[in-house]
Structure 1
């Protein structure tokens, strides 16, 4: 019996896993499209988000950052994270949909398992008019983003350089 019990105990210890520590090794949202709830307003703050199964990347732009376009040229604007714009990573208990962000009363599930706010970085927005001259196209890029968990662990493998493109109407 002892010959069976010791190896079985050793295997159970080696194969056991911890449910208490969520390990986030990579934040990868480059292949996911940026979304918003309704149309974006050029002269106010806007919230954009990207969903990747049970993860979300939420970008709260500083007020007026999208109001920098000119019809005949490309304009580049920057916003510091977290002092002007905010970037948050959320990990959910199950797959999340845009309803979580867009419904007047968010659904009860999924629940947030972990939330990490970026402590440093830059949002760069290149704005140019579309071919029709009716909308501005804003290309949003992130750089030098630094996420640090509450325990001091830094998430360094970030693949979120290209946040996406959004449009706002050109006002007459």
Structure 2
């Protein structure tokens, strides 16, 4: 899996022979999907035509966390660590040809063009969701508790160790099924609890009203008729605890892959392409990330 190959969407013109003739070769990959394999330090992007007899691919060296953030990564094609090739086979080829550590011996490539010049651009678009019931567009780019995790993927926006989801309109009191339009405001200070680090306004931070020091103030209750101490202004015992709970959020990443100023060669023939759109993949990587911010 040392080879990573990428493919383009449109038919292209192969131009150039040393005798000045123009060679035109048509490629039909526009109706096929961009696929990929991953190795320890590289990514292989590839496409196979509808007849399963041709492929175009890109070997791309990248960090293991490349799909976790939104970014644009550019690498120079050098013929060794990053390169493109186009192949024609003497039989039908499948994705296993690329994704197996030991490629099959058949089919064999009967013609090959190598791309050792140009720039590959990988655009990653990562989206995060903290599952707190608030649309990410409504939370903007704020980081209320300044823990380095923006509110739209911070499951505890104010850093009080009480999940945001529990501090909204969990009972749907206003009947609009939007937990954000009527969030709880226990102390009536016009700062909703999910953005207020002292929910009951007793002068003790919510996370300090955690008498058993288990990073969960919701289960520390002196008066069951009122509820948790952090919502009871008559209880103001303080237990200094400057530790955040472990945070989790879901993520999904889409990619777009392009090549600029590509030069493909095969003996005396040369193919040039100013901009080559290899394709896109939605949800190329998805899952749940865990992190514990520091104060």
Shift of 1:124: 1.0
Structure 1 unmatched ranges of 5 or more: 1-22
In structure 2, distance between residues paired with 1:108 and 1:85: 23
How far apart are the structure 1 equivalents of 2:65 and 2:83? 15
Pick the structure with more strand per residue.
1
Counterpart position of 1:150: 267
Secondary structure at the aligned position of 2:33 is classed as coil
The 3 A distance-change label for structure 1 pair 144 and 58 is same
Instruction: Kindly provide the CA deviation profile for residues 8-64 of structure 1, in whole angstroms up to 9, marking residues without a partner as x.
Output: xxxxxxxxxxxxxxx771344333211124xx47x8311121111211112111131
Q: For 2:279, which of 146, 149, 163 is the aligned residue?
A: 163
Report the counterpart of residue 80 of structure 1 in structure 2: 76
1:117 aligns with 2:117: no
TM-aligned CA deviation for residue 113 of structure 1: 0.1
Higher RCO (CA-CA < 8 Å; seq separation 6+): 1
State the partner residue of 1:141.
258
Indicate conservation of the 8 Å contact 1:61/1:85, yes or no.
Answer: yes
The change in CA–CA distance for 1:29 and 1:143 in structure 2 (over 3 A counts) is farther
Aligned length: 143
TM-score by length of 2: 0.42
Q: Distance in 2 between matches of 1:159 and 1:96?
A: 27
Q: Any stretches of 5+ residues in structure 2 without a counterpart?
A: 1-22, 130-249, 291-295
Give yes or no for contact 1:79–1:124 (8 Å, CA) kept in 2. Answer: yes
Q: Distance in 2 between matches of 1:117 and 1:149?
A: 7
Range with bigger deviation, 158-167 or 81-90: 158-167
Q: How far apart are the structure 1 equivalents of 2:272 and 2:265?
A: 9
Q: Secondary structure at the match of 2:98?
A: helix
What's the counterpart of residue 57 of structure 1? 56
Q: Does the 8 Å CA contact 1:58/1:89 hold for their aligned counterparts?
A: yes
1:58-87 deviations in Å (ceiling 9; x for gaps): 2111131862653xxx42121111265211
For residues 95 and 159 of structure 1, what CA distance do their matches in structure 2 show?
Answer: 28
Give me the whole-angstrom Cα distance separating, in 1, the residues matched to 2:64 and 2:48. Answer: 23
Tell me, yes or no, if the aligned pair for 1:89 and 1:116 is still in contact at 8 Å: yes
Deviation at 1:157, TM superposition (A): 6.8
Worse-superposed segment, 115-124 or 104-113? 104-113
Report the TM-score when normalising by structure 1. 0.67
Is the contact made by 2:55 and 2:86 (CA closer than 8 Å) also made in structure 1? yes
C-alpha distance after superposition, 1:95-144 (max 9, x if no partner): 21112223454333211101221021111111121364412222111222
Q: Distance in 2 between matches of 1:107 and 1:136?
A: 31
Query: What does residue 16 of structure 1 align with?
Result: none
SS of equivalent residue, structure 1 residue 100: helix
The structure with the largest alpha-carbon Rg is 2
Cα pair 1:30 1:159 within 8 Å, conserved: no
